[in-house]
Amino acid sequence: MSERVIPLIDQRLRSLTAQVPTQAIPATGLLGDALGRPLRDLRISVTDRCNFRCSYCMPKEIFDKDYAYLPHSALLSFEEITRVARVFVAHGVQKIRLTGGEPLLRKNIEILIEQLAALRTTEGRPLDITLTTNGSLLERKAASLKAAGLQRVTVSLDGLDDAIFRTMNDVDFPVADVLRGIEAAQAAGLGPIKVNMVVKRGTNDHQILPMARHFQGSGIVLRFIEYMDVGATNGWRMDEVLPSAEVVQRVHAELPLVQLEPSAPGETAERWGYADGSGEIGVISSVTQAFCGDCNRARLSTEGQLYLCLFATHGHDLRHLIRGSASDAELASAIGAIWQGRSDRYSQLRASMPPDQSTGGRRVEMSYIGG
């Protein structure tokens, strides 16, 4: 009998233990990393599970019925997440994005949203709370998410052609159900809604124009994402990346565009408006154009590990502090010390690196820390 070969992809054991530094680092809202970048955006993964198997994220051959997902006891509880989020907010975070895996699979996610919505920034303002979803449960949940205090959603949709979409999500999920989820989110007031489309050359790039036409004039901002070399399981190849510049060219040729100013510092998407004023699109060029210079994003994994970069090879375990005897001030010092030591800028360095040399090919999976 032949043995099944399981690639070494489990990043979850590879973490550094976060330490409370001897000198306190109080949360003043002014924390900067080693390159002077502030901490403004926290992405929290609430589950490592998903009901889709997008080949660029959770390929079926790896994430099969034998895959060892985290046990419930390993996940941070809503109270633990809210406590650690409060500390991040005191350090300057203004925006929280819930992600996963598929965040709407986490039971009673509305309760977490209610708790996070009660937090205030260091200037006393409510946080900007948003969520990225594959849209499969959105029709059912949009109203309750809004009532809980969620402001906006980003929905992932890789095309309008049903056959292509069913193949890309690899669970035969229809486009129509995601579109109904988007409509429900609009009706519930979860806007401005963004739609994320990962573009893979040769797979769904012919969907760029149909998608642009579909969302033009709808108030929804369609964003084209370059297929990224995240994780170690998706078999990424540069020749499958369609550079954003080409996406813009293709749309511009049919639907004229003008470039718009970025909406905020550290914004990942380059904005383009339709020349006739009928809305805008965005392009996220994480492969062809590095935007590490003002990257103000931290990521908290489902089990409480802090990641400083989407392409990090290890996290910093905060859970032992959260579940141990550390006070909020000690937790703030530990997080402060980790952020102060941050010099990650993978996308900027990628161009000059031989493939996988800096990471040994062992990067954290996107489904584990979210997008």
The DSSP secondary-structure symbol of 361 reads T
| Residue placing its CB nearer to ligand SF4 in the complex, 201 or 350 | 350
281 binds ligand SF4 (CB under 6 A): no
CB of 334 to ligand SAM, least distance (A): 26
Count of residues in contact with ligand SAM, rule CB under 6 A:
21
The DSSP secondary-structure symbol of 2 reads P
| Residue placing its CB nearer to ligand SF4 in the complex, 124 or 360 | 360
Range in contact with ligand SAM (rule: CB under 6 A) among 62-70, 301-309, 321-329, 363-371: 363-371
The rounded distance, in Å, linking the Cα atoms of 301 and 324 is: 18
Of residues 23 through 52, those in contact with ligand SAM by CB under 6 A are 50
Range in contact with ligand SAM (rule: CB under 6 A) among 126-134, 202-210, 288-296, 346-354: 126-134
User: How would DSSP label each residue in 204-266?
Assistant: TGGGHHHHHHHHTTTT-EEEEEEPP--SSSS---GGGB--HHHHHHHHHHHS-EEE---SSTT
CB of 46 to ligand SAM, least distance (A): 10
102 binds ligand SAM (CB under 6 A): yes
| Residue placing its CB nearer to ligand SAM in the complex, 21 or 361 | 361
| Residue placing its CB nearer to ligand SAM in the complex, 21 or 243 | 243
What are the residues facing 200 on neighbouring strands? 241
3-state SS, 18-82, equals CCCCCCCCCCCCCCECCCCCECCEEEEECCCCCCCCCCCCCCCCCCCCCCCCCCHHHCCCHHHHH
Range in contact with ligand SF4 (rule: CB under 6 A) among 211-219, 246-254, 332-340, 342-350: 342-350
346 binds ligand SF4 (CB under 6 A): yes
| Residue placing its CB nearer to ligand SF4 in the complex, 231 or 304 | 231
Structure tokens at 158: 């890789």
Residue span 210-229 as binding mask against ligand SAM, x where in contact by CB under 6 A, dash where not: ---------------x-xx-
Sole binder of ligand SAM in the list 234, 268, 302, 333 (CB under 6 A): 234
Sole binder of ligand SF4 in the list 18, 25, 31, 58 (CB under 6 A): 58
Chain-centroid distance of CA 235 in Å reads: 20
The bridge status of strand 194-199 relative to strand 152-156 is parallel
Q: Which of 134, 127, 132 is nearest to 149 (CA)?
A: 127
Q: Are 46 and 98 in contact (CB under 8 A)?
A: yes
Structure tokens at 357: 């040399």
Residue identified by tokens 């790039």 is 205
| Cβ-closest position to ligand SAM | 371
- CA dist 362 → 12, 43, 301, 327, 367 (Å): 11, 21, 16, 33, 14
Sole binder of ligand SAM in the list 132, 302, 305, 333 (CB under 6 A): 132
Residues that bind ligand SF4 (CB under 6 A): 50, 52-54, 57-58, 100-102, 134, 156, 291-292, 295, 297, 309-311, 344-347, 367
Q: Tell me which residues touch ligand SAM (CB under 6 A).
A: 50, 56-57, 99-100, 102, 132-134, 156, 196, 198, 225, 227-228, 230, 234, 366-367, 370-371
